[in-house]
Amino acid sequence: MIVIKKLLRFFLLLSLLGAIIFGGIQFYVNSFAKDRLVTPTSAPAVDAVMILGAYVYENGNPSPVIQDRLDYGYQIYQAGKAKKIIVTGDHGTVQYDEVNAMKDYLIKKGVPPQDIFLDHAGFDTYDSMYRARDIFGVKSLIISTQQFHINRALYISQRLGLESYGYPSEDKVIRRIYLQETRESLAKVKAFLETDILRSKPRLLGPQIPITGDGRATFDKD
């Protein structure tokens, strides 16, 4: 009986410690968004606006989640706060292609192709930020994503040395589809491990393509 009580006490303390560490990581990651949220009016001039990828339908059309991100990123571009746009997402197979769907959407809105850079290997937020710095030579950017995601994106980008700001869209579409808050809390722990503990490299790097150049150098389709 005494042994059982000791084991229960041990697991209780272990659970309490885990909860404290988990909560501390959430607070730490979220703190990087302080004074970093902007609008097209208040945003500073930056090297690029980065639009983070999400689900694309089988017919190649962007989902409402990506459409929100594209529309908000376009607002930053239209306001003249960024001369270039990076669309970053999963293009790991021929059958699934987020970045070309995003590019086509922006071109239809009137963005010149040369101003759009495609990051075909933005498999997650960490990879996207790392590649923005090391492939495209970006030093400052404004991130377009939803509110639930913006704190993690700002944390990763700043810890990787980027001067970053966020222009988040509302979560109204997301919340109906996913248990997003729980998933995002776990994703923040993963981001902390990648960024501050393991200091991982992205799955793919490659030759440099300066953001000051022509975005069509990143196109794989007309």
Task: Establish if 34 belongs to a structural domain.
Answer: no
So what's the pLDDT on residue 10? Answer: 75
Task: Establish if 18 belongs to a structural domain.
Answer: no
pLDDT at 220 over 80: yes
Q: Would you say 142 and 49 are in contact if contact means Cβ atoms under 8 Å apart?
A: yes
| pLDDT mean over 128-138 | 97
pLDDT at 173 over 70: no
So what's the pLDDT on residue 59? Answer: 87
So what's the pLDDT on residue 172? Answer: 63
Alpha-carbon span 97 to 93, nearest angstrom: 7
pLDDT classification of 171: cutoffs 50, 70, 90: confident
Helix (H, G, I), strand (E, B) or coil at 100: helix
Task: Establish if 127 belongs to a structural domain.
Answer: yes
- E strand or H helix at 144: strand 140-144
Query: Each residue of 19-78: pLDDT tens digit?
Result: 999 999 999 999 999 999 999 999 999 999 999 998 899 888 999 999 999 999 999 999
Residue spans of alpha helices (H) in 38-118: 64-78, 98-108
Alpha-carbon span 118 to 33, nearest angstrom: 26
Task: Establish if 191 belongs to a structural domain.
Answer: yes
| Domain assignment of residue 111, given as a range | 45-218
| pLDDT mean over 163-177 | 78
Alpha-carbon span 197 to 159, nearest angstrom: 11
Please give the structure tokens belonging to residue 69: 């991100």
| pLDDT mean over 216-222 | 89
Please give the structure tokens belonging to residue 105: 């959407």
86-95, 148-157, 193-202: the lowest-pLDDT one: 86-95
Q: Would you say 145 and 69 are in contact if contact means Cβ atoms under 8 Å apart?
A: yes
CB atoms under 10 Å from CB of 113, counted, come to 13
Alpha-carbon span 18 to 12, nearest angstrom: 10
Task: Establish if 7 belongs to a structural domain.
Answer: no
Task: Establish if 193 belongs to a structural domain.
Answer: yes
CATH of the domain at 185: 3.40.50
Domain total in the chain: 1
pTM higher than 0.85 for the full model? Answer: yes
So what's the pLDDT on residue 176? Answer: 54
| pLDDT mean over 139-145 | 98
Task: Establish if 186 belongs to a structural domain.
Answer: yes
Task: Establish if 123 belongs to a structural domain.
Answer: yes
